[in-house]
Chain A
Amino acid sequence: MRLSRVATYALLAVASIVVAFPLLLALSYSFMTESEISTFPPPLVPVAPTFDNYGRVLASIPIGRYLLNSFAVSSAVVVGQLVTASLAAYAFSFLVFRGRALLFFVFLSTLMIPWEATIIPNYLTVRDIGWLDTYQGLAVPFMATAFGTFLLRQGFLQIPRELWDASRIDGASSFHFLRTVVIPLSRPALGTVAIYGFLSTYNQYFWPLLVTNQTLMRTTQVGIAQLRFEESVRWGLIMAGVIMVAVPTLALLVLGQRQLIRGLTAGAVKG
């Protein structure tokens, strides 16, 4: 029995190291000098760890500004999604009106349209209204979410109907009920939508690549990728940049794991 437990842990440890290997390697290389990286055989861990690469990233690209841009845009998208999706999910759960089912279907139909299939007209729109190189150009197109609305609706439907009836009898407005009862009771679902929205916006690459040209408007993902296209590739420096860009999302994974898992599995387990 003891032995099989040891074997189980050994297996788990090996699998974890294999899966995490690329990330661990990036971390390790970020502490190596360029000359150490180019030795053969390729080293696994730095002989004399140094923070120099991090200093050089700060000196060679405005990574602070990239992080600020990414945080500003992702936060704006999260706030926007929470507002639009709460309002819509509320209409789809508590309010009763004709055509509701049809409208809900129209909502869900957006899930079948890949963003890349509409990216050309969207680029032309954003360009024509002068939103290239702006936060609104990066954020506004993503401020509505059918998936988030769907998730919140599931949460809202769990709220006892009696609360709604009582509030109606008291003569409170429907908006008042949303603000004072539904929202406070739905924090977990709102958390899921927020984390999901933040992560997917922060990690975007294609759209920010298209709609930003100025260095100072770039997001982390596009900014860090520019290092790859430089003439002399400095791997230690690039890996330091990669770590700086990846840390916020990895922290979010550790802190918001439960909410994230709820979001990812919403469509898969119970249909």
Chain B
Amino acid sequence: MDAAGHDARCLYDAANVMRWTARDACSLGVGLAYLLPSFLLFAVFVFIPLGRTIYLSLFNTRATGAISTFAGLDQYIELLTSAVFRSGLVATGLFALYTVPVSIGLGLVLAVMLNQKLRAIGFFRTTMASTVAVSAAVGSIIWLLLFNPSVGLLNYLLSLIGIHGPQWLIQPNVAIVAVSITTIWLVLGTNVIVLLAGLQSVPEDIYEAAHLDGAKGVRLFTRITVPMVSPSLFFLLVVDSVQVLQAFTQIHLLTRGGPVDATRALVYSIYLDAFQNFQFGYASAQAVVLFLLVLGLTLIQFRFVESRVHYQ
């Protein structure tokens, strides 16, 4: 504890000093000491690997992951011209399109239902938020059973209301819907929690005022509720989209990227090319594409949050 005792003196009112002094250097040293464990881990498992991903994407690699020859932008050109990669991107896009709006919409409907002062409302809140604790693997396996053509309940239930259910995991256009349904269910819990918190932070008097003005039902919902929770909606739009971009487990357990690459979403494609085909360079180029997409989405969110913080 010697060093820790020593810093008591060097830290004291360092803020008042405008020039670099020995005391400044000392306080920086202490600060860095506290940050060191995190930074070491981030360097080894985040920053350097990100650099290596970009580096690998510029090379041809051996099956061991070792670099063989410089490829320049060849991997990227191959990506852009690859029909498989393009169908993977289409799958990712459809997946996001099916999943994100529905899961947010459903989440909002449930959150509005749950935003009432009733006895035992806590029980309903916990139940409807329960999928937040369910892992992607557990959820996917249960849905695998539901989609099963011989013992699955889903098509039987659909037949009760006169709908002839499809072969969920066998038809290419339907398989991506099946993966989306599973994902909607998995993210629903988070969406309910976030939107309920958003609704609860809306001041009561806004509703009272709207009520006095005669706003009711759908009008109240679209004119008051939706705008008031728009920060939460926007947050989920970004978070859920990033989740879809990162999806792996559902695809691995439900469809394995098939049938005929119809569900070969971005991360699953990285997995196949890196860890099944051992083309680490080519897979790294796809990882760079993933990084840029997530980066773009997160930057949009940061900007949005920043612009909102001002008038708090």
Q: Which A residues lie within 8 Å of B130 (CB)?
A: 19-20, 23, 250, 253
Q: What secondary structure prevails in chain A residues at the interface with B?
A: helix
Task: Tell which of A121, A203, A235 touches B135, judged by Cβ atoms closer than 8 Å.
Answer: A203
Closest-CB distance, B245 to chain A (whole angstroms): 7
Other A-B contacts than A113-B46, A245-B138, 7 sampled, CB-CB below 8 A, are A97-B14, A97-B31, A116-B287, A117-B290, A117-B291, A124-B52, A271-B309
Closest-CB distance, A103 to chain B (whole angstroms): 6
Contact B253 A225 (CB under 8 A): yes
Q: Chain A interface residue count: which class?
A: 35 or more
Task: Tell me, yes or no, whether A56 is within 8 Å of chain B by CB.
Answer: no
Closest-CB distance, A137 to chain B (whole angstroms): 11
Chain B residues 217 to 249 lying within 8 A of chain A, measured CB to CB, are 231-232, 235-236, 239, 242, 245-246, 248-249
Task: Tell me, yes or no, whether B272 is within 8 Å of chain A by CB.
Answer: no
**B1-35 interface bits toward A, Cβ cutoff 8 Å, 1 = contact, 0 = none:** 10011111001101100001000100110111011
Task: Tell me, yes or no, whether B284 is within 8 Å of chain A by CB.
Answer: yes
Contact B185 A202 (CB under 8 A): no
Contact A88 B35 (CB under 8 A): yes
Closest to A241 in B: B141
User: A168-B12, A254-B126 known; A42 and B137 CB under 8 Å?
Assistant: no
Q: Chain B interface residue count: which class?
A: 35 or more
Task: Tell which of A19, A23, A112, A269 touches B294, judged by Cβ atoms closer than 8 Å.
Answer: A112
User: A91-B31, A97-B27, A269-B201 known; A253 and B141 CB under 8 Å?
Assistant: no
Contact B34 A268 (CB under 8 A): no
How far is it, in angstroms, between the C-alpha of A244 and the C-alpha of B34 when the chains are bound? 40
Task: Tell me, yes or no, whether A224 is within 8 Å of chain B by CB.
Answer: yes
Contact A253 B133 (CB under 8 A): yes
Task: Tell me, yes or no, whether A199 is within 8 Å of chain B by CB.
Answer: yes
Q: Most chain-B CB neighbours within 10 Å: which of A8, A15, A113? A: A113
Task: Tell me, yes or no, whether B118 is within 8 Å of chain A by CB.
Answer: yes
How far is it, in angstroms, between the C-alpha of A238 and the C-alpha of B284 when the chains are bound? 35
Contact B275 A206 (CB under 8 A): no
Contact A117 B53 (CB under 8 A): yes
Contact A225 B151 (CB under 8 A): no
Could you jot down 29 A-B contacts, CB within 8 Å?
A8-B118, A11-B113, A12-B118, A15-B128, A19-B185, A22-B185, A88-B35, A96-B11, A96-B27, A97-B14, A97-B27, A112-B295, A112-B298, A116-B270, A117-B288, A118-B46, A121-B52, A122-B49, A168-B8, A199-B133, A202-B135, A203-B135, A205-B136, A225-B137, A245-B137, A257-B129, A264-B194, A267-B235, A270-B201
